[in-house]
């Protein structure tokens, strides 16, 4: 029973991947790229440290272009991020070998997050099961599980050493001569999952 799991290398998508293995699924991690940057390598590196299979799924650059237009129009990235995530789920669900897709979206997230009609529509249109291991967990539970499982490095940084949609979106905005700092909320801290915290009992099986 194989699940294709959208993966950024961050804490949430790493925790969701672990939960899938605990439910007995085989998990292949999938990181989306638009081919502008190779920041998917951060997700690959974390995937390898955690012992998961990993692949890159390339999405058309037009999707990122459209997302950039939305972010510029809104002066805020939320709709753009939501748009990319839906396109990523659809692209993954449409691969012929894919029967189950998953992501690390949370109950308390604003974006990206599919409401129930959208989640059901995704399943119906592509004939897949859409699994969201974190949807029923609040921040306390996610924090206690994450702290138990992962070595996380938190540091102040301007570079975005991560593989989420934001990085290529910021890059494209900069290419268009637009300062992403006017659109994205500022955050100087970033966290990276560096590996499992201890012994085998937490490792994937």
- Residues near a second copy (CB under 8 A) are 1, 19, 22-24, 100, 107-108, 116, 119-120, 123, 129-138, 140-141, 144-145, 148
- Name the nearest CA neighbour of 60 among 97, 88, 41, 31: 88
In whole angstroms, how close is the CB of 34 to a second copy at the nearest point? 27
Minimum CB distance to a second copy smaller for 45 or for 123: 123
Neighbours of 21 (CB within 10 A): 18
Cβ 136 to a second copy shortest distance, Å:
3
Q: How far apart are CA 141 and CA 149, in angstroms?
A: 12
Please state at what angle helix 61-74 crosses helix 165-175, rounded to 10 degrees.
Answer: 80
Residue 169 burial class via C-beta count within 10 angstroms: exposed 0-12, middle 13-18, buried 19 and up: buried
Task: Compute the distance between CA of residue 29 and CA of residue 12 in angstroms, rounded to an integer.
Answer: 13
Residue 144 C-beta: closest distance to a second copy, Å = 7
Shorter beta-carbon distance to a second copy: residue 131 or 178: 131
Task: Return the number of the residue (69 or 144) whose C-beta is nearest a second copy.
Answer: 144
Which of the 8 DSSP states describes residue 100? E
* Identity of the residue, 15 or 59, whose beta carbon is nearer to a second copy in the bound complex: 15
Please identify, using beta-carbon distances, which residue of 80 and 142 lies nearer to a second copy: 142
Q: Locate 26 and state its tokens.
A: 């085989």
Give the phi and the psi of residue 54 in degrees, each rounded to 5: -145, 140
């Amino acid at each position: 029973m194989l699940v294709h799991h959208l993966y950024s290398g961050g804490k949430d998508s790493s925790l969701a991947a672990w939960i899938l293995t605990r439910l007995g699924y085989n998990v292949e991690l999938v990181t989306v790229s638009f081919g502008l940057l190779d920041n998917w390598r951060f997700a690959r590196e974390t995937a390898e440290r955690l012992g998961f299979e990993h692949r890159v799924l390339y999405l058309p650059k037009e999707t990122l272009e459209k997302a950039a237009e939305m972010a510029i129009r809104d002066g805020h990235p939320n709709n753009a991020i939501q748009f990319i995530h839906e396109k990523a789920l659809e692209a993954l669900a449409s691969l012929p070998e894919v029967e189950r897709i998953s992501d690390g979206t949370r109950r308390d997230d604003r974006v990206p997050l599919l409401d129930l009609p959208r989640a059901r529509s995704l399943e119906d249109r592509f004939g897949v099961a859409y699994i969201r291991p974190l949807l029923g967990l609040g921040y306390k539970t996610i924090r206690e599980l994450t702290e138990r499982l992962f070595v996380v490095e938190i540091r102040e940084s301007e570079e975005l050493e991560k593989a989420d949609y934001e990085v290529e979106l910021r890059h494209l905005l900069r290419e268009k001569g637009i300062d992403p700092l006017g659109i994205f909320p500022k955050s100087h801290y970033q966290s990276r999952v560096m590996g499992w915290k201890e012994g085998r009992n937490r490792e994937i099986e």
